[in-house]
């Protein structure tokens, strides 16, 4: 809720979600967190355009996870939809 308070999304807005393991958090727990984020966004009428769950920015055996939300406008949405294929990230 702290993220939503700061972000102040309105009903009908679109967001992108990144659930990142800090190192030792299992993928199953990340998907549980992602499900809860999605439920919370659905509750307030915000749609999720894109979701990434995994190990994106880690530290050796560090416990925990981070949740990042990006408020999308048409320009940012188009950029996120553009294909990307690099060493640590693949989308589109």
What confidence tens digit (pLDDT) does each residue in 46-81 have? Answer: 999 999 999 999 988 799 999 999 999 999 999 999
Output the pTM of the full model: 0.91
* CATH code: domain of residue 63: 3.30.1180.20
pLDDT digits (tens, 9 = 90+) for 34-50: 999 999 999 999 999 99
What's the pLDDT score for residue 28?
98
Residue 16's DSSP bridge partners are: 50, 70
Could you list the residue range(s) of the whole structural domain that residue 57 is in? 2-91
- Cβ-count burial of 49 within 10 angstroms (0-12 exposed, 13-18 middle, 19+ buried)? middle
What's the pLDDT score for residue 61?
79
Domain count, the chain: 1
């Amino acid at each position: 809720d702290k993220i939503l308070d700061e972000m102040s999304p309105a009903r009908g807005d679109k967001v992108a979600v990144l659930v990142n393991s800090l190192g030792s958090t299992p993928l199953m727990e990340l998907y549980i967190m992602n499900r809860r984020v999605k439920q919370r966004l659905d509750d307030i009428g915000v749609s999720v355009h894109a979701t990434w769950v995994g190990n994106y920015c880690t530290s050796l055996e560090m416990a925990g996870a981070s949740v990042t939300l990006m408020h999308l406008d048409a320009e940012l949405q188009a950029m996120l939809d553009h294909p990307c294929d690099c060493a640590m990230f693949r989308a589109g």
